[in-house]
Amino acid sequence: MTTGPAVTLGQLLDLDLIEHCEVLGGEAGLRRPVRMVVAGSTVHEISELAPCGVVVFGREQLALDDLAADLAIRLAGSSGLSGIIAARPSRRIPFATRRLADRLALPLIGVGDIAPAGVITAFDPYVRAPEIAGLRVLGDASRRFQRPPADADALTSLLAATLGEPVALADAESRYVAGDPAVHALLAAHVSTERLGDTHPVALTVETGGGDLMAHPVQIDATGPAVYWIAVRRPRFAAGVLLEPVRRAIAIASLSFAVHVAGEAVRIEREHRRRSLLLNEIFEQPEEPARRTVERATALGWRLAGWHTAVQVQVSAAPAALRMSALGAELEEQLAEHGMPATLVERAEGWVFWSTTEAQADAADPGRLIERLARTLAAVEAVHPGLRLCAGVGRAQTGTAGIGRSAGQARQAALLAHTAHRPAAVEHIDAGSTRRLIAGWYGSAPLRGAAADLLAPLAEADPSGELVRTLRCYLDAQSSAKAAGAVLGVHRNTVMQRMERITELLPADLGDPDDRLAVHLATRAVDVDWDDPG
């Protein structure tokens, strides 16, 4: 008889070594250790067997629908056996027999027409060396994840097949990605987003009330935060000596999927670089683009003729765990859902795309575009707490050269949107707009430097930026403390107290129109950190 850690009958059944197994009674005893599996010749010999054994009867030796089954259960229970396996009868097993097995917590297992020797041959290696079961799980995981899974759905289905339990995949903000929604619900309910977003994530096992939940991070950088989390309800067989192999199997799946994610990131980055280089070529040769440039643009679905209205999307603020490459792909998906299918081109300050129409009249009024764009940005922000996006829309311009001109105007408009400090801000500069002057001011590094010097006393006194934000809201609200307080979420008296301190610190007279204008512009430009080449 083996010594040390042992498998249980429940674990052996979970390995699916024998088809058509059924627990007919005594399910509460499936956690009993199994030290040996032996063939039974007669019912009366059961009392001579060693404890913790499982006895296997053929159809001729024991009929489970006969009174002899009750005697076998009683003898096995008094001998400390861990279960009885016998051929499943054609007739229904008597209720009294099932109840007796339940009362004694002695598992009664029915199998198909398989000889006792076949059952013993299947179970015996795992009973003698329980670690073999762990090696089987590891072998399955290594074989299935030798190549990275094609996508998140493939990951969850392959790992579920390996472990025999449902699997879910969530991102670092606990949002559902793929797999079993019920498992994801357990993860969201029992593991905080702060824990999932930890900069040094570790594998977790948490009690959910209905069994343990195992969660493993998927990391692109071994020393960085998780980009995804794999969640698995701990398999019933994963206990004792078998628990570590299950953990390693999940780790294998995690590493394989990390390779897939990293490969996708490289592919996306390469594609973005290709688009960016092509757009630079169009900007550099707007009148007569080279034939190769035109061919590449056509292959991407870019239209060079017609009236172009460019859009620049920019990130104003983002959570640390958010990957920009993934955000770009998500923006493209949301744009398509809102009726604006587009190919984003990554630029230094965000992404650029443009819509093209045949006639100027169709493109002259960007109102519909602005409305759809605002809804798109709001939809993306809604699923990423802490994310703030803004966008600028250029005027409709004609021809290949018009793409660059409209993109330059969109860049100026995005700069204005960035200073608006509101969710999903979208700005448009039309031909006669005074905002063109303001955008030029914001885009001037020397003028922004002067603005920073003007506000320096407030920044030094309050590094959190609360004083500058209060001053901006107060001036935006035309000196209404009540309106500014509503925006800031504080009482009007708090706004007035802050304004008293600001007046003392600020080297400007807010009662003077020129000083007031300069201070107001400075507060709007304080967060801008890129220049307008125009």
Distance in angstroms (rounded) separating the CA atoms of residues 419 and 415: 7
Confidence band, pLDDT 50/70/90 cuts, at residue 456: confident
Let me know if residue 488 belongs to a domain: yes
Place of tokens 């829309």: 393
125 and 137 housed in the same domain: no
Residue 533 has pLDDT above 50, yes or no: no
The per-residue pLDDT of the chain, averaged, comes to 84
pLDDT in tens, 267-300: 877 888 888 888 888 888 777 788 888 888 888 8
149 and 256 housed in the same domain: yes
Residue 323 has pLDDT above 80, yes or no: no
Q: How far is CA 96 from CA 56, 66, 82, 347, 527, in A?
A: 21, 11, 20, 76, 78
Out of 375, 399, 433, pick the residue that ends a domain. Answer: 433
Q: How far is CA 188 from CA 193, 250, 531, in A?
A: 8, 19, 42
The confidence score (pLDDT) of residue 23 equals: 92
108 and 143 housed in the same domain: no
**Across 364-373, average pLDDT:** 78
* 268/426: higher pLDDT: 426
* 235/215: higher pLDDT: 215
Centroid of chain to Cα 471: 38
Let me know if residue 267 belongs to a domain: no
Domain count, the chain: 4
Let me know if residue 268 belongs to a domain: no
Residue 19 has pLDDT above 50, yes or no: yes
Phi, psi of 34 (to 5 degrees): -115, 120
Centroid of chain to Cα 95: 49
8 Å CB contact between 227 and 172: yes
Let me know if residue 384 belongs to a domain: yes
The confidence score (pLDDT) of residue 184 equals: 93
Out of 230, 261, 292, pick the residue that ends a domain. Answer: 261
315 and 419 housed in the same domain: yes
Distance in angstroms (rounded) separating the CA atoms of residues 298 and 292: 10
Residue 232 has pLDDT above 70, yes or no: yes
- Encoding tokens for residue 179? 């797999």
Q: Answer whether 0.75 is exceeded by the pTM.
A: no
125 and 136 housed in the same domain: no
What is the rounded radius of gyration, in angstroms, for the C-alpha atoms of the chain? 34
- Encoding tokens for residue 160? 């579920």
The confidence score (pLDDT) of residue 488 equals: 86
Q: Which residues pair with 229 in a beta bridge?
A: 170, 217
8 Å CB contact between 169 and 179: yes
8 Å CB contact between 167 and 156: yes
What are the DSSP E strand ranges found in 200-284?
Answer: 204-207, 212-218, 228-233
- Encoding tokens for residue 434? 């005074």
Place of tokens 């229970």: 77
How many other CB atoms sit within 10 Å of the CB of residue 184?
Answer: 22
pLDDT in tens, 129-183: 776 666 777 888 889 999 999 999 999 999 988 887 889 999 888 889 999 999 9
Confidence band, pLDDT 50/70/90 cuts, at residue 251: very high
Let me know if residue 271 belongs to a domain: no
Let me know if residue 294 belongs to a domain: no
102 and 152 housed in the same domain: no
* 302/39: higher pLDDT: 39
CATH number at 456 reads: 1.10.10.2840
CATH number at 224 reads: 3.30.450.40
- Strand 7-8 to 425-428 pairing: unpaired
**Across 347-375, average pLDDT:** 78
Instruction: Give the chain's count of helices (H) and strands (E).
Output: 20, 18
Residue 527 has pLDDT above 80, yes or no: no
8 Å CB contact between 522 and 454: yes
Out of 96, 129, 162, pick the residue that ends a domain. Answer: 129
Residue 508 has pLDDT above 70, yes or no: yes
The confidence score (pLDDT) of residue 155 equals: 94
CA-based nearest residue to 407, from 362, 360, 352, 357: 352
Domain of residue 517: give its range. Answer: 445-525
389 and 509 housed in the same domain: no
* 418/388: higher pLDDT: 388
422 and 324 housed in the same domain: yes
8 Å CB contact between 116 and 57: yes
Residue 360 has pLDDT above 70, yes or no: no
80 Rama sector, left if φ>0, alpha if ψ -120 to 50, beta otherwise: left
